[in-house]
Amino acid sequence: MTWDELDDDEFRSIVRADIEEHYPSELRYSPRKFLEWSEQQVWIDHLIERGWLAPGWPTAHGGMGLSPHKQIIFAEEHERWGAAQYREHGVIQVGPVIMSFGTPEQQQTWLPPILTGEHHWAQGYSEPEAGSDLASLRTRARREDDEYVLDGQKIWTTLAHVATHIYVLARTDPDVKPQRGISFLLVDITSPGITVRRIKDISQSSELCEVFFDGVRVPVEHRIGDENHGWTIAKSLLGHERLTAGSPFASEYGLEVLSEVARANGVEDDPVFRDRRDALALDTKHLRDAYARYKDMVARGEPIGPDVSMLKILATETFAAIADLTIETAGDEGGLAGEGLDAFYRARPAMIYAGSNEIQRNIIATAVLGLPRA
C-alpha cells in the first residue's frame, strides 16, 4: 500500500506520532526560520532513513510520492509541532524544477545528491535592485561557446554560506522584455569568482547572505530549460511559496504565546486586552478559512492564481499584529529575549520574503481587480 492510499486521518496520525517521538525537543519553535543542516543532523538522518526527506517527489526519484493534499498534511504536522523548516531549497524548489524542466541526464546528475545530503542549495533570486520586482534583475550571463560567464550580485540568500550549490536567475538577453530574457542556471558555489558574505540581522542571526559573481563560468549544460525561458520556471515556484507563507499555524501559535504572556502579567481578563486579543483570534480564524480554500485547490490539482497574494498578506500581517500585542502585553520585559520577542523577529521579515506585501497588493490590484498600473 502506498502512502496516498492511506486514509487522511491515518496518514496524519502516523506522521504526527513520528514527529512527536523523534523530533529533537530543543529545536521546536526556533526563532529562526531556517536552521542549518548540521544543526538538525539527527533529525535529517532520521528522515533519510525513513525515506521521508522528499515527500512530494515521485517514488521513481526516491521520494514519498505524496499527492499535493497529503504533502500539505505532512507539512502541517511539522508546523503544528514547531519543527524547523528542514526541507531546504534542493528538496522543495530546485529538485521539482529539474524533474519538470530538466533532461533525463540532468535528473540523473542532480537529483540523487539532494536526497543523500551531499548537495545543499541556495536560491539566487533577489538582488539589491530586484527583490520583490524580480523581473528587473541585472545579474548577467553572457554566452561564450559552451559556457556562460556570470557577473552580478544576489542578496538575502538564505544559508548560502553553507550551501554547495546555488540556482541563479540571470539575464541572458538584455534586448527583450525583462521576463523574456532570463535563464535558470545551476551553479557550483565553490566555483572561482564567487564570494559569499554573511549579513547579520537585528536578532544577531546571520542566515542571510550576499553572493557576488565575478566572471564565473557555468557550463551551458547546467542551464535548466531553454535559454531566455527561466521566468516561466521562476513563476512555477512563486505561487506555492506564497501558499506556504500563508499558513495559519504561526498566528495560531502566536495566540497561545500571547495568552501565556497575558496570564503571566495579570491582564488576561482585562476587557481592553480581551477585545484586542479576540479581534486577532477572529482574524486568525478567517485566515484558516482562506488557507483551507487554497489548500483544497492544490488537493484538486487546480492552479493557484494571483489572488493567493491575499493569503500571504493576511497571514503575515495577522502574525505581526499578534507579535506586537505580545510585546506590548509583556510590558518592561517585552524587549527581552523570549518567545514574544522571537515572534517579533520572525514576523517582520515574513512581510517581505516571498514578495513584499506592497508588491502583493499591486498584484491583486492589477492581476485580480484589473486596475490600471500607476
Give CA separation, 324 vs 92, 282, 310, 341, in Å: 31, 16, 21, 9
CB proximity list for 225: less than 8 A, separation 6 or greater:
101, 102, 183, 184, 232, 233
Give CA separation, 93 vs 2, 41, 87, 88, 239, in Å: 24, 21, 9, 8, 12
Give CA separation, 231 vs 177, 182, 218, in Å: 11, 6, 19
173 DSSP assignment: -
Q: Name the β-bridge partners of 130.
A: 127
Q: Name the β-bridge partners of 184.
A: 169, 224
Residues 60, 83: contact at Cβ < 8 Å? no
Q: Which of 227, 241, 260, 268 is catalytic?
A: 241
Is residue 256 among the annotated active site residues? no
Residues 181, 192: contact at Cβ < 8 Å? no
- List, by residue number, the catalytic residues: 241
